[in-house]
Each structure stands twice: as structure tokens, then as C-alpha cells.
Amino acid sequence: MKRAGFAQPWLPMLLLLPQLTIIVIFFYWPALEAVRSSFYLEDPFGFGSSFVGLENYQILLESREYRRVALFTLFFTLCVTFFSLAIALLLAVKADKVLRGATSYKTLLMWVYAIAPPVAGLMGAMLVNHSNGMITHLFGAAGYEFRNGLNYSDTAFTMILVAIWKQIPVNFIFFLSGLQSIPVSLREAAKIDNKSGTSRFWTITFPLLAPTGFFLLITNITYALFDTFGIIDVVIKGEPGNNPLTLVYKVYVDGFRGNDLGGSSAQSVVLMVLVLALTVFQFRLIEKRIHYT
């Protein structure tokens, strides 16, 4: 609030109205609806629903398949987050360092941001095509028969590879802007204090990038959980079958294909709790240590 704010009573309400209407109808209502229907069992033939309490959750937690999906989601998220952050950090450090061609490298490394996930998935699918994909050939040359869509871990590999590729630009941009916000004099002071560039990176630059890093960690986990839907859908060609799936994809499959409204809703609620936990964690971290001013 500004000190000298306006005092009109109706205008601000009018200004808030569109935003509030939209979020109430398309956010709060569906979110509550998800919570509500997670306690109900939908009749498969559409004859109403009955209250079942926590049964949907119980079924969910006892389901071996759900646990398998959750485990894969964890693995997928860890891989995507770790590799896309690590690669982007390496590239950002180098792009920050070179003098010649820095702008061109920046452009070349960030433009993939604009490509839609399913388009990236389509490229991946073409590259791992069973009969003539280039990556398939590469594996073939190494004596391994790569079978995307048939072999569980091969499909997982494709999904992870594409998801990393798609996320590198965002991480790169943030790391680079983080690096560039480190004052020049600080780096120079470090140069006088420490001869080794590697040691300087780990003792000065890296800790100073921590705020950016933690922010990106959360962003990347969120990305891997939610924004990879398009990649996964295209890589597995819309066929869940025995393919690796993430939790979000399973919500979609059970809800829209399996018509298991209660189960899908329970899964939604689990995801909501997960995201909330992640956010709380994020705020805790921000509060606790990681900003220097």
C-alpha cells in the first residue's frame, strides 16, 4: 500500500473484480471440487456418486502401480533437475567468462525456450524412432538395441533427455543473470585473494549463486512435475501402456481415459499437498538464509 493511496471505495473493487471472478470460478471452485470428489466414488455408469471417505486415498496408497509411478516421477524429477541445472550452470559460467562471441552464445543457448514441449517431444520421438532414429543408431553402434516405447528404461531415457534439453535455456538465463549481478569488484577482490579459478568458483561464485540456485531448484522441480506433460504425451505417443509415467500424466489418464473421477481427484489432492509443501519449503529457505543484501 502506498502512503498516499486513493480512498475511493468502489473503484478498487471494480478493478479487482475481473481477476477475482476468474480465479474463483476457474481456480478455487475446481480446486475445492477436486478435494470434495476425492471423498466420493463415482458410479461408472453415471448414476451419481457415493461418499466413501478416505477410501480413494487408501486405494491409491495401496496401489503398486501408483507407487511405481510416484517412484518414477521422483527419479525423473531428480534427473531432469540435476542435469539441466548442471549443464546450464556450466554453460552460463563459460558464457559469462568469454569476451568474444558472448552475445551469440547467449542467443544460441536461450532460444529453445520458445519451443513448445510437445514440439520438443516430437523431435525426440523422431530421433529415437525404432527403425531409423539417429539416437537409436548411435546406441546400435554401441551394441545396444534402443527401443523407445517398448523398453521401459529406454522410453524413460528419451523423456528425460528431451525434458533436460527443453529446460536448459531457462536455467541458463537465470544463472547468467545471477552471475552478472555479482559485482565486478567482488570478483576482483577474489582474484587478489585467490589464485585458483576453480577454487574461486566454489568458494565465492557458487555460494553467491545460491539464491538463484535455490529458486531454480524449485522452478525445475515444478517444471519436471507439471510442465513436461506435452513431452511425455508425445514421446509415448499417447499410449500409457507399460510406459513410464509421471504423477500428473496419471491424473490425466485416470481422470479422462479411465473415468475414475474419485481416484483421479485423490491424486490431484496428493499433488496439491506436494506443491504446497514445496512452496512452504521455498519460503522457509528464502526466509532463513539465502539472500545477502
- Is residue 26 at the binding interface for another protein, with CB under 8 A as the rule? yes
In whole angstroms, give the CA distance from residue 132 to residue 150. Answer: 15
Residue 173: count of CB within 10 angstroms of its CB: 16
Site string for another protein, 174-193 (x = CB under 8 A): x--x-----x-xx-xxxxxx
Q: What is the DSSP letter of 244?
A: -
- Work out how close the CB of 249 gets to another protein at its nearest, in angstroms, rounded to a whole number: 9
Cell of 52: 466413501
- Report the residue count for the chain: 293
Q: Which is nearer to another protein, 156 or 225 (CB)?
A: 225
Query: Which one of 80, 125, 156, 160 is in contact with another protein (CB under 8 A)?
Result: 125
In whole angstroms, give the CA distance from residue 135 to residue 124. Answer: 9
Q: What is the 3-state secondary structure (H, E, C) of 68-110?
A: HHHHHHHHHHHHHHHHHHHHHHHHHHHHHHCCCCHHHHHHHHH
- Is residue 59 at the binding interface for another protein, with CB under 8 A as the rule? no
- Is residue 127 at the binding interface for another protein, with CB under 8 A as the rule? yes
Which listed range, 66-74, 75-83, 117-125, 150-158, lies at the site for another protein (CB under 8 A)? 117-125
Which listed range, 48-56, 63-71, 76-84, 119-127, lies at the site for another protein (CB under 8 A)? 119-127
Q: Which helix (H) or strand (E) holds 229?
A: helix 229-235
In whole angstroms, give the CA distance from residue 21 to residue 39. Answer: 27
Interface residues for another protein in 131-170 (CB under 8 A)? 131-134, 165, 168-170
- Work out how close the CB of 60 gets to another protein at its nearest, in angstroms, rounded to a whole number: 15
- Work out how close the CB of 166 gets to another protein at its nearest, in angstroms, rounded to a whole number: 10
In whole angstroms, give the CA distance from residue 146 to residue 123. Answer: 16
Cell of 258: 479411465
Interface residues for another protein in 200-239 (CB under 8 A)? 203-204, 207-208, 210, 215, 219, 222, 226-227, 229-230, 233-234, 237-239
Site string for another protein, 89-108 (x = CB under 8 A): -xx--xx-xxxxx---xxxx
Query: Which one of 139, 173, 201, 214 is in contact with another protein (CB under 8 A)?
Result: 173
Place of cell 519451443: 115
| CA 115 to chain CA mean position, Å | 15
Q: Which is nearer to another protein, 39 or 165 (CB)?
A: 165
Which listed range, 51-59, 61-69, 74-82, 248-256, lies at the site for another protein (CB under 8 A)? 248-256
Cell of 200: 574461486
- Work out how close the CB of 173 gets to another protein at its nearest, in angstroms, rounded to a whole number: 6
